[in-house]
Amino acid sequence: MVQKIIDVAGSSPTSFAKAAENAVASAAETVRNQKWARVSELEMELDGKKVKSYRVTVRIYFDVER
């Protein structure tokens, strides 16, 4: 088995978990055979004292088709 790895960023106004779900769902529109995902970075966009949005970088592993 050979896998390729890509990094995808996702965001959400709600949570880090939702941002990660959005990243994986968006990648699935063009990437087949996704097997694993790892959140590698967490970031927050701020508006003064408040969190405006959450952003994650997700590393997605998928099988290379032969």
CA torsion angle for 32, 62, 11, 17 (degrees, to 10)? 110
Mean pLDDT computed over every residue of the chain: 95
The reported pLDDT for the residue numbered 36 is 94
Which pLDDT score is estimated for 9? 97
Host domain of residue 54: 3-63
Q: What percent of the chain has pLDDT over 70?
A: 100
Q: Enter the pTM of the model.
A: 0.87
| CATH number of the domain encompassing residue 37 | 3.30.1660.10
* pLDDT (0 to 100) of residue 15: 97
Residues with Cβ within 8 Å of residue 35, at least 6 apart in sequence? 3, 61, 62, 63
**Could you report the per-residue pLDDT of 4-34, keeping only the tens digit for each?**
999 999 999 999 999 999 999 999 999 998 9
DSSP secondary structure of 45-58: EEETTEEEEEEEEE
- The pair of three-digit structure tokens given for residue 10, joined into one six-digit string: 């996702």
